[in-house]
Amino acid sequence: MKLVVAIIRPDMLTSVLESLFHTEVRGLTISRVQGHGGETERVETYRGTTVKMDLSEKVRLEIGVSDHFVTPTVEAILSSARTGSVGDGKVFVLPVEKVYRIRTGEVDQDAVTPVEAAATA
């Protein structure tokens, strides 16, 4: 199992979710984060006080997937989150030691397999 972590632009979130949905990725967690990835700083002015906004709003997705799902998931994110300008974000794939599903106590592979898929398999 792997944990796919993606940092994306907030305004691309809808298109990423759409794309993940079509790839049949069913479980994910998102959080709103702030970060900096080399994009041009925005300069804002409030009454004579000029500030450089070093951090931009980003959305972080965390998706636990079984091994054969890693490539489709990453490809779905890459294709849907890309605008071509600096600041599109990153995708990280991390190894996962253990996964538990809280409701049933299932472990690992079973725990990251959606319920419907498990029933038909």
Partner 1 sequence: MIAADTAWMLASTALVLLMTPALGFFYGGLVREKNSLNTIMMSVAALGFVGIAWALIGYSFAFAPGSGFLGGMSFALLRGVGLDAQGTIPHLLFMSYQATFAIITAALISGAIVERMRFGPYLAFITLWSLFVYAPVAHWVWGGGWLAKLGALDFAGGTVVHINAGAAALVAATVLGPRKDYGRQAILPHSVPFTVLGAGLLWFGWFGFNAGSALGANPSAALAFTNTLFAPAATLMVWTMMDLLRTGKVTAVGGATAIVVGLVAVTPAAGFVGPLGGLALGALAAFPSYYALLFRARTRLDDSLDVVAAHGVGGTVGALLTGVLAQKVWNTATDGALFGNPKQLGIQAAAVLATIVYSAALTWGLMKAIGAVAALRATAPDEGLGLDVSQHGEEAYARGEGAILILDEPPGPPTPAAAPVLRAEGGRG
What is the binding site for partner 1 (CB under 8 A)?
A: 9, 11-12, 14, 34, 36, 38, 42-46, 49-55, 83, 85
CA proximity to 89, closest of 41, 37, 53, 34: 37
Minimum distance of partner 1 from residue 87's CB (angstroms): 10
For partner 1, which is the closer residue by CB, 55 or 107? Answer: 55
Minimum distance of partner 1 from residue 51's CB (angstroms): 4
For partner 1, which is the closer residue by CB, 41 or 116? Answer: 41
For partner 1, which is the closer residue by CB, 34 or 71? Answer: 34
For partner 1, which is the closer residue by CB, 20 or 111? Answer: 20
Minimum distance of partner 1 from residue 90's CB (angstroms): 15
SS3 for the chain, per residue?
A: CEEEEEEECHHHHHHHHHHHHHCCCCCCEEEEEEECCCCCCEEEEECCEEEEECCEEEEEEEEEECHHHHHHHHHHHHHHHCCCCCCCEEEEEEECCCCECCCCCCECHHHHCCHHHHHHC
Minimum distance of partner 1 from residue 23's CB (angstroms): 18
